[in-house]
Amino acid sequence: MATRASEQLRVLTGHQAVAEAMRQIEPDVVAAYPITPQSEIMHYFAEFVANGKVRTELITVESEHSAMSACVGASVAGARTMTATASQGLALMIEIVYIASAMRCPIVMAIANRALSGPINIHCDHSDAMLGRDAGVAQLFAEDAQEAYDFMIMAQRIAEHPSVLLPVWVNLDGFTLTHTADVVELLEDELVKEFVGEYKPRYPLLDVDHPTTQGPFALPEYYFELKRQQVDAMESVPQVLLEVQAEFARLSGREYQGFFEPYYLDDAEYVIVVMGSTAGTTKEAVDTLRARGEKVGLLKLWLFRPFPREEIAAALEGKRAVAVLDRALSLGNYGPLYLEVSSALYEAQRRPRLYNYTYGLGGRDTTAKQLEAVFMQIQEKTFGKEMHYIDLRE
């Protein structure tokens, strides 16, 4: 394998970056249904199909439920399969996502994160991604278009790894990343093809010489054991991710080491934990406050599922205070990410004070100044433990 790509800098939207990754991977089958803010991914990809840039079978279906069903069918047949969706589309898919995971279909999906209705809203939050929290899919969150592109390529390898064989979602913030043109470094087509390699399904349904039964009933005698196998598959993801990251670094020169990116985290006393594009804005806030001598830092989570609880606990242990920023509600309790971090820290000897903020629901903008305020608020020992909201009119 070549050690380093001759890279090209391009101005691309998140949509285009994801579509370019899909073009380079050239899956056998893509089934999709349009929904804002995902649709342009498929516009661009459909253009690649129409212009003969890829030989992918693009199946246009009548709903996301059908899109996911078609993906499962294709994947079980032995095809490398991808799709993309958002919000209500993902909600409609979710029934079949559980089945895709249980049938061990390595389907790679881009999720252009968008709020769930109601009220109806087309803008970004992470409510849709949280629908998949318990579904048996590995989930990555991208900070920018570059990461979305890189993760799409890495996701293919993770999903298809023999010890994983699960769907992988690449989350990118709707509009904020999908519709923003940013500078992206693409790899050469051949390098990506070489990196993802040829997909060799283990039990393709179309291999009629070796017939298999797929998707049968599993009554009390077997259901539990099959679910346990999904647990094992999910637990294999972290190690596979590390291996894929290392290989990707050799290929691209871009270092993704671990399950989260630390930014001034080592000596920080006050930390923000956040996923997605707001992590970039948080870096700006960290720089501003560091220049004033404040010991603040960021833990930008890439891998939400499986949740890297031990590594997160180790990184946050001994900090004075940590703010976990959720871009989704779990109505009736703290936010989903907060609950994960909180439970991860339970075994820690030196637990930080932990706070939960909800931000950015339905596309509410989050600025660096607001994040600076969060860093200052959590320094107060008497700061309340109730849910806090960034830029909300009460």
Give which of 148, 153, 145 is closest to 187, Cα–Cα. Answer: 153
Exactly one of 280, 297, 306, 335 binds another protein (CB under 8 A); which one? 280
189: contact with another protein by CB under 8 A: no
Pick between residue 262 and residue 363 the one whose CB is nearest to another protein: 363
183: contact with another protein by CB under 8 A: yes
366: contact with another protein by CB under 8 A: yes
281: contact with another protein by CB under 8 A: yes
**Which residues inside 106-165 make contact with another protein, applying CB under 8 A?**
122-123, 143-144
Exactly one of 15, 23, 283, 327 binds another protein (CB under 8 A); which one? 283
Pick between residue 15 and residue 305 the one whose CB is nearest to another protein: 15
Minimum CB separation from another protein for residue 10, in Å? Answer: 8
Pick between residue 350 and residue 369 the one whose CB is nearest to another protein: 369
Q: Which range, of 42-50, 150-158, 210-218, 272-280, touches another protein by CB under 8 A?
A: 272-280
Give which of 81, 80, 90, 82 is closest to 111, Cα–Cα. Answer: 90
Give the binding-site size for another protein (rule: CB under 8 A). Answer: 27
Q: What is the 3-state secondary structure (H, E, C) of the chain?
A: CCCCCCCEEEEEEHHHHHHHHHHHHCCCEEEECCCCCCHHHHHHHHHHHHCCCCCCEEEECCCHHHHHHHHHHHHHHCCCEEEEECHHHHHHHHHHHHHHHHCCCCCEEEEEECCCCCCCCCCCCCHHHHCCCCCCCEEEECCCHHHHHHHHHHHHHHHHCCCCCCCEEEEEECCCCCCCEEEEEECCHHHHHHHHCCCCCCCCCCCCCCCCCCCCCCCCCCHHHHHHHHHHHHHHHHHHHHHHHHHHHHHHCCCCCCCEEEECCCCCCEEEEECCCHHHHHHHHHHHHHHCCCCEEEEEECEEECCCHHHHHHHHCCCCEEEEEECCCCCCCCCHHHHHHHHHCCCCCCCCEEEEEECCHHHCCCCHHHHHHHHHHCCCCCCCCCCEECCCCC
Minimum CB separation from another protein for residue 50, in Å? Answer: 15
28: contact with another protein by CB under 8 A: no
Pick between residue 283 and residue 388 the one whose CB is nearest to another protein: 283
367: contact with another protein by CB under 8 A: yes
181: contact with another protein by CB under 8 A: yes
Minimum CB separation from another protein for residue 29, in Å? Answer: 29
Exactly one of 28, 57, 182, 317 binds another protein (CB under 8 A); which one? 182
Encode 249-266: b = buried (16+ Cβ within 10 Å), e = exposed.
eebbebebebbbbebbbe
16: contact with another protein by CB under 8 A: no
185: contact with another protein by CB under 8 A: no
56: contact with another protein by CB under 8 A: no
173: contact with another protein by CB under 8 A: yes
247: contact with another protein by CB under 8 A: no
Pick between residue 105 and residue 148 the one whose CB is nearest to another protein: 148
Minimum CB separation from another protein for residue 72, in Å? Answer: 33
Pick between residue 143 and residue 340 the one whose CB is nearest to another protein: 143
- The contact set with another protein (CB under 8 A) reads 9-11, 122-123, 143-144, 173, 175-177, 179-183, 277-278, 280-281, 283-284, 363, 365-368
